[in-house]
Amino acid sequence: MGAVTETLPEAKARRVAEELRRIGAAHSPAVLASSLGAEDMVLTDLISREAPGIAVFSLDTGRLNAETYELMQQVKTRYPDLDYRIYAPEAADVEALVQGYGPNAFYESLDLRKQCCHVRKVKPLQRALAGNSAWITGMRRLQSVTRKDLEPETWDEANGLYKFNPLYDWSQAEVWGYIRAHGVPYNALHEQGYASVGCAPCTRPIAAGEDERAGRWWWEDPEAKECGLHLNRES
């Protein structure tokens, strides 16, 4: 994570830059979904320099860490020409959820956790993707058991557009090599042992040797650890 350093994967970064330009030209309009994690910052940096026609969006679930909001702010100042969009859940949906079950009901059952993710993430994602031809993510095969078969390109049947995962074959060390070499801003949570960035109550630091997504919904079965944003064949 933050402490990892390795030779910059220049060749891989060049290939990803070419791929982003190709996506931007062939699948316009295209958008990057950024959770403000390290991988998303690599892609945000590459898009700002190599494929400025691609927009970037983040989902403000209302339950993010202060460090994540700080990075959201930094993205706006560091990349002033970037088309950066922030989507929030519908206030009425959040009110109904919290009034019905309480603010932290996601710990009580998988069903309630998925309801919360649906309101705070999936529905805003659908608005963010509407009208686009393709979306891009920072997912990698090595992140978790749910992503080991991740393909670089798929058809997202649920959302009706192409989905690209240009960092699918990158290692964690390669991601950090790029961030260090290019002075890319990153989430301070990574310095505290967080490998994956998500909502504050549902994400925690991981121990050495743990699966990179072990800190997400740690009370659940590893096979269930996706939030509904990535429910295609690879997840």
Residue 117 binds to ligand SF4 (criterion: CB under 6 A): yes
Gap between the Cα atoms of 28 and 6, Å rounded: 34
Residue 42 or 227: the one with the smaller Cβ distance to ligand SF4 is 227
Kindly state the smallest distance separating residue 68's Cβ from ligand SF4, in Å.
Answer: 11
Q: Is 202 marked as binding a ligand?
A: yes
Is residue 22 part of the annotated active site? The answer reads no
Kindly state the smallest distance separating residue 107's Cβ from ligand SF4, in Å.
Answer: 9
Q: Which of 32, 198, 225, 226 binds ligand SF4 (CB under 6 A)?
A: 198
Q: Which of 27, 121, 140, 141 binds ligand SF4 (CB under 6 A)?
A: 121
Query: What b/e string do you get for 90-127 counting C-beta neighbours within 10 Å, with b at 16 or more?
Result: eeeebeebeeeeeeebbeeeeebbbbbbbbbbbbbbee
Residue facing ligand SF4 at closest CB distance: 199
Beta pairing, strands 161-164 & 134-136: parallel
Kindly state the smallest distance separating residue 70's Cβ from ligand SF4, in Å.
Answer: 18
Q: Are 217 and 93 in contact (CB under 8 A)?
A: no
Cβ–Cβ contacts within 10 Å for residue 19, how many?
19
Residue 36 binds to ligand SF4 (criterion: CB under 6 A): no
Q: Which of 202, 206, 214, 229 binds ligand SF4 (CB under 6 A)?
A: 202
Give the DSSP per-residue string, 166-222.
Answer: TTTT--HHHHHHHHHHHT----GGGGGT-SS--BGGGB----TTS-TTTTBSTTS-G
Catalytic residue among 161, 227, 229, 234: 227
Query: In the chain, which ranges are E strands?
Result: 30-33, 55-59, 84-87, 134-136, 153-156, 161-164
What character string, x for contact with ligand SF4 (CB under 6 A) and - otherwise, covers 93-112? -------------x------
Residue 63 binds to ligand SF4 (criterion: CB under 6 A): yes
Gap between the Cα atoms of 93 and 121, Å rounded: 11
Residue 201 binds to ligand SF4 (criterion: CB under 6 A): yes
Q: Is 199 marked as binding a ligand?
A: yes
Q: H or E element: which one contains 123?
A: helix 123-129
Q: Are 43 and 179 in contact (CB under 8 A)?
A: no
User: Given the rule CB under 6 A, which of 37-45, 147-155, 189-197, 199-207 is the region that contacts ligand SF4?
Assistant: 199-207
Q: Is 40 marked as binding a ligand?
A: no
Footprint on this chain of ligand SF4 (rule: CB under 6 A): 61, 63, 106, 113, 116-117, 120-121, 198-199, 201-202, 227
Q: Which residues are annotated as a binding site for [4Fe-4S] cluster?
A: 116-117, 199, 202
Q: Active-site residue numbers?
A: 227
